[in-house]
Amino acid sequence: MAKSSIEYVCSRCGHVNPQWLGRCPACEAWDTFVERATSISRDASVDVAEPVTLTGVESAVRVPTGVAELDRVLGGGIVPGSSVLLGGDPGVGKSTLALQLASALAGRIKTLYVAGEETPAQLGTAAARLGAKTEDVYVVPEHVVENVVTILADGRPGICVVDSVQTVHAAAHPAPPGSLSQLKTSTMMLTEITKSTGTVLVLIGHVTKSGDIAGPKALEHIVDVVLYLEGDRHGSLRFLRASKNRFGATGEVGVFQMTEKGLTEVERPSELFLAERQADVPGSAVIALMEGSRPVLAEVQALTSASGFSNPQRVVSGVDAKRLAIILAVLDKRLGYDLSRSDVFVNAVGGLYVNEPAADLGVALAIASSVIGRAVDPTIAAFGEVGLAGEVRGAASATRRVKEAARMGFTRIILPEKSAAEAKKASNVHLVGVADVDAAVEAALT
């Protein structure tokens, strides 16, 4: 092995100290010291890898997990030896998803489940409830990383789930369990061993309240893949998104529904998003979105009402507040809707987070509908980005959006003129290309 000794460096300001310190003497931040190797000297006994050209390197093999919505987000499956951070709010369903993954792989791949949160008995109960296949799922209640490393080196499971990274600590590392430097050290030790054993490491991390730095965010650069499981805690829908993927794209979204039998996959989310929609009510519009490569129809609701405050409220849920501000300014300028003394509430239904510019037109129509007090015709779906001059700008994947809208029974699609020219006509659907937001409101609400 190469000779190395250890020093500690402040992850905030870079101050170096031979010992670990709780507080950095340079920048006075707490719990920022992380371990690093110093002075790596060449050692004749070490095999140094020969550089090879990339043509000689095989691309990463992906093993489909059998959970299609998870595979979609991962870009096809798991990569042996890779590390995946699965983050999310407490109670959102991370342990459930990990158990279902282990179950889906049973018969092919052995899973080691390091249970730091629940007892093995509690996990057994959850697995039974899920109807999970558990013959290849080994559970160990363990909190010490060094012990996990030993178990991994001996047993070489295909997957190791650590539930959660906040409940394990490296005994050799002096920082307190749960602290940032402890989280980083534990994660680095685990990724190192799993890389060498070819094990897929699934690290579960609770997203802590903003402001708490000891959360999974700090681990994102250490792991290969970062997934977040999100969803409205009162609703049943769950969205799985990749915010980082060293083996593929990050745009895909997996959709699940939490049921008594765990997370069931939702292949076609439009039905669920529109299930409780009441047509003929002012303040509602249906938008045709792209979630990754999949078209999805969703409902946006808006409510405008006279404000009792000198500073009227803008309350958004699932919609970007800055984009709403632009849309309100455009509606004011182009259509004379003065909402400076009105509260405006906008909500993407179903816990969906709509961060696509092409959602603008739906948001604008929902607001216009609320202001005018007239419902958008229930046969209409819309998409398009609204520019600062009120122009409606073209959106990608027009044909797929139109097709999905047609499949969901919409017969008039209000869309950018440019997209209307591009989109292949679906049968029984009338495409209404609009140049600006005025034309869209006219088409949808008069």
Interface with Mg ion (CB under 5 A) = 95
From CA 138, how far away is CA 416, in angstroms rounded? 54
Q: How far apart are CA 23 and CA 415, in angstroms?
A: 56
**In angstroms, what is the C-alpha Rg of the chain?**
26
| Least Å from the CB of residue 53 to Mg ion | 44
Binding to ligand TYD (CB under 6 A): which residues in 236-295? 258, 260-262
- What's the angle, vertex CA 436, arms to CA 434 and CA 440, rounded to 5? 55
Q: Binding string to ligand TYD for residues 427 to 446, with x set by CB under 6 A, is what?
A: --------------------
- β partners of residue 375: none
Residue 203 binding partner per list Mg ion, ligand TYD, none, with a CB distance cut-off of 5 to 8 Å that depends on partner kind: none
Q: Do 171 and 142 form a contact (C-beta atoms < 8 A)?
A: no
**What token pair was written down for 83?**
């590390």
Name every residue whose Cβ is closer than 8 Å to that of residue 343 and which is 6 or more positions away in sequence: 303, 304, 305, 306, 307, 309, 312, 313, 314, 315
In whole angstroms, give the CA distance from residue 97 to residue 101: 6
**Among 91, 107, 131, 198, contact with ligand TYD (rule: CB under 6 A):** 91
The Cβ of residue 389 has, within 10 Å, a number of other Cβ atoms equal to 10
Interface residue with ligand TYD among 75, 77, 87, 88 (CB under 6 A) is: 88
Residue 93 in contact with ligand TYD, rule: CB under 6 A: yes
Work out the burial of residue 341: count CB atoms within 10 Å of its CB; fewer than 13 is exposed, 13-18 middle, 19 or more buried. Answer: exposed
Nearer to Mg ion, 118 or 377 (CB): 118
**Pairing mode of beta strands 137-140, 16-17:** unpaired
CB of 312 to ligand TYD, least distance (A): 37
Determine the angle formed by the axes of helices 94-105 and 120-130, rounding to 10 degrees.
70
In this structure, how many other beta carbons lie within 10 angstroms of the beta carbon of residue 251?
14
Pick from 121, 174, 123, 165: which is nearest to 145 by CA? 165
Are 365 and 376 spatial neighbours (Cβ–Cβ below 8 Å)? yes
Q: How many of the chain's residues bind ligand TYD (CB under 6 A)?
A: 15
Identity of the residue numbered 148: V
Which of 98, 341, 356 lies closest to 229 in space, CA to CA?
Answer: 98
Q: How far is the CB of 102 from Mg ion (least distance, A)?
A: 13
92 forms part of the interface with ligand TYD (CB under 6 A): yes
CA separation for the pair 230, 348 (Å, rounded): 14
96 interacts with ligand TYD by CB under 6 A: yes
In the bound state with ligand TYD, the residue whose beta carbon lies nearer, of 242 and 258, is 258
Region binding ligand TYD by CB under 6 A among candidate stretches 28-36, 92-100, 182-190, 213-221: 92-100
Distance CA 26, CA 174 (A): 20
Of positions 84, 114, 130, 367, contacts ligand TYD by CB under 6 A: 130
| 40-48, 124-132, 268-276, 422-430 -> range binding ligand TYD (CB under 6 A) | 124-132
Q: Which is nearer to Mg ion, 258 or 335 (CB)?
A: 258
Closest chain position to Mg ion (CB):
95
Is 333 an interacting residue with respect to ligand TYD (CB under 6 A)? Answer: no
Residue 341 binds: one of ligand TYD, Mg ion, none (C-beta under 5 to 8 A by kind): none
Tell which one of 129, 233, 341, 424 touches ligand TYD (CB under 6 A).
129
CA distance 83 to 68: 19
Instruction: For the CB of residue 439, give the shortest distance to Mg ion in the complex, in Å.
Output: 50
Nearer to ligand TYD, 122 or 355 (CB): 122
Q: Is 94 one of the binding residues for ligand TYD (CB under 6 A)? A: yes
Closer residue to Mg ion in complex, CB, 231/416: 231
Q: Which is nearer to Mg ion, 113 or 239 (CB)?
A: 113
- From ligand TYD, Mg ion, none, which one binds at residue 289 (CB under 5 to 8 Å depending on kind)? none
Question: Residue 198 binds what, of Mg ion, ligand TYD, none (CB under 5 to 8 Å, by partner type)?
Answer: none
Question: Which part of the chain contacts ligand TYD (CB under 6 A), choosing from 45-53, 85-93, 180-188, 392-400?
Answer: 85-93
Residues making contact with ligand TYD (CB under 6 A): 88, 90-96, 126, 129-130, 258, 260-262
